[in-house]
Structure 1
Amino acid sequence: MARAVGDLLAEFDAGLEDEVSLPPSWNVAPTDAVPVVLERLKEGDAGPRQVRQLHVARWGLVPPWVKDPKFGSGMINARSETLLEKPAFRKAVQSRRCAVPADGYYEWKQGPGKSKQPYYVHPGQDHGLVFAGLYEWWKDQSVPVGEPGRWLLSTSILTADTPPPGTESTVFGKLTELHHRVPLPLDKATMAAWLDPQADDAAGLVDLVRSRVKDAAADWQVDPVGTEVGNVRNNGPELIRPVEALFQQPR
Structure 2
Amino acid sequence: MCGRFALTASPEELLELFGLLKVEDFPARFNIAPTQPILVVVASERPEPGSNLPDRKAMLVRWGFTPAWVKDPRSFPLLINARAETATEKAAFRAAMRHRRILVPASGFYEWHRPPKGSREASQAYWVRPKKGGIVAFAGLMETWSSADGSEVDTAAILTTGANKTVRQIHDRMPVVVPPEEFSRWLDCRTQEPRDIADLMSPAPEDFFEAIPVSDRVNKVANAGPDLQEEITPVASLPAVRNPADERDGDNGQLTLF
TM range (shorter): 0.7 to 0.9
Q: Which one has the bigger helix percentage?
A: 1
- In structure 2, what is the equivalent of residue 155 of structure 1? 156
Is residue 29 of structure 2 the alignment partner of residue 25 of structure 1? yes
Cα distance, 1:191 vs structure 2: 1.8
Normalising to structure 1: TM-score of the pair?
A: 0.82
Amino acid aligned to 2:93 = F
Report if aligned partners of 1:96, 1:134 keep a CA contact under 8 Å in 2.
Answer: yes
For residue 230 of structure 2, the aligned residue among 223, 236, 241 is 241
Q: Give the Cα separation in 2 of the matches to 1:30 and 1:122.
A: 19
Say whether 1:8 aligns with 2:9. Answer: no
Which string of whole-angstrom CA distances, capped at 9 and with x for unpartnered residues, describes residues 207-234 of structure 1?
21124x343x522111100010111110
Paired residue for 1:167?
none
What percentage of aligned pairs have identical amino acids?
A: 30
Q: Where does residue 208 of structure 2 map in the other structure?
A: 219
Measure how far apart 1:154 and its partner are.
1.1
Map residues 45-124 of structure 1 onto 2, 5 A cutoff: 51-70=55-74, 74-111=78-115, 112-113=119-120, 115-124=122-131
Change (3 A) 1:96 1:72: farther
Per the normalisation by structure 2, the TM-score is 0.80
Residue among 35, 42, 45 paired with 2:39: 35
Is the deviation greater in 24-33 or in 92-101? 24-33
Question: Which residue identity lines up with residue 181 of structure 1 in the other structure?
Answer: R
Worse-matched range after superposition: 21-30 or 52-61? 21-30
**Structure 2 equivalent of residue 177 of structure 1:** 169
CA contact (8 A) 1:40 1:197 kept: no
- Cα deviation for residue 114 of structure 1 reads 6.7
> What SS does the aligned partner of 1:246 have?
coil
Partner of 1:210: 201
Contact 2:20 2:54 in 1 (8 A): no
Task: Report the AA paired with residue 29 of structure 1.
Answer: A
Superposed displacement of residue 46, structure 1: 6.4
Unaligned runs of 5+ residues in structure 2 are 1-6, 241-258
Q: Hey, what's the Cα distance between the residues in 2 that align with 1:7 and 1:100?
A: 14
Question: Cα RMSD (Å) of the superposition?
Answer: 2.4
Task: Report if the CA contact (8 A) 2:101-2:187 is conserved.
Answer: yes
Question: What number of residue pairs does the alignment pair up?
Answer: 230
Match of 1:139 among 146, 151, 163: 146
Which residue type is aligned with residue 51 of structure 1? D
For 1:57 and 1:21, locate their aligned partners in 2 and report how far apart those are by CA, in whole Å. Answer: 16
Question: Which one scores higher on RCO, CA 8 angstroms, separation ≥ 6?
Answer: 2
Tell me which residue corresponds to 1:166.
none
Alignment-derived partner of residue 231 in structure 1: 220
Amino acid at match of 1:59: W
- Taking structure 1 as reference, are residues 61 and 72 closer, same or farther at Cα in structure 2, changes over 3 Å only? farther
Q: Where does residue 196 of structure 1 map in the other structure?
A: 188
Letter in 1 for 2:146: K
